[in-house]
Amino acid sequence: MRIFLGQILAVILLISGIAGQVEEVMDIFSDCRKSSPDFDKCIQRAFNDLRPLFSVGIPELNVAPFDPHRSPYVEQRRGDARGLGGFRLILTNVSEHGWTNSEVTKYRTDAPNNRIVYSQFFPEKSLEGEYSFKMNALGRPSNTRGVWNLTLYNYSQTTSVTRIGGPGGLLKVRVEIDKIGDMSMHISNFFGGRRVLGEKI
């Protein structure tokens, strides 16, 4: 990460002359010095100090609220849903809650590889939305749709963000699940209203 986030925000602030929440963000990162051995710990503390802004965003920088985080469309495929075996899952209108109460527990800057890696703990993280599921198992097709919700308790994840190429390049994000303490899930109409998994769908 060649340019420290605080420097980027400082440039934006100087160019725009904007006050308010931008100054608040600048204050949060003002003590972090890239040459300091405490740099990673400082960034970790700063990220946690940003949490109150997750639900309101930073309008002066055109940063939208992040809690809840919303995704209009997510798709996953395996195999061939129209062949002998496979499925196609489409999630729409997905809302993800819990970021404001999360905590960054570890942070590491990998400057030579233009990458940052951080671990995060969520006391509770919930997701909800609509789904469409198409499956074919040994020539037996199934097509269902409905609503779903998922809540994770004492959940931990590690995220790595890598910049591909130079400044302005694409960002590659990878999220790995570290631990799930407990979970609850509800999926409507997943088996066409039938209560027994062994029944014909």
Average pLDDT, whole number, for the chain?
81
Low-confidence ranges of the chain (pLDDT < 50): 1-19, 196-201
Cα 50 to Cα 25, 53, 100, 137, 194: the distances in Å are 7, 6, 9, 47, 46
| Architecture of the domain defined by 68-193 | Super Roll (3.15)
The torsion angles phi and psi of 53, rounded to 5 degrees, stand at: -85, -10
This prediction's pTM: 0.74
- List pLDDT tens digits, range 93-114: 999 999 999 999 999 999 888 8
In the chain, where the domains are located: 1-66, 68-193
pLDDT, tens only, 124-145: 999 999 999 888 776 677 788 9
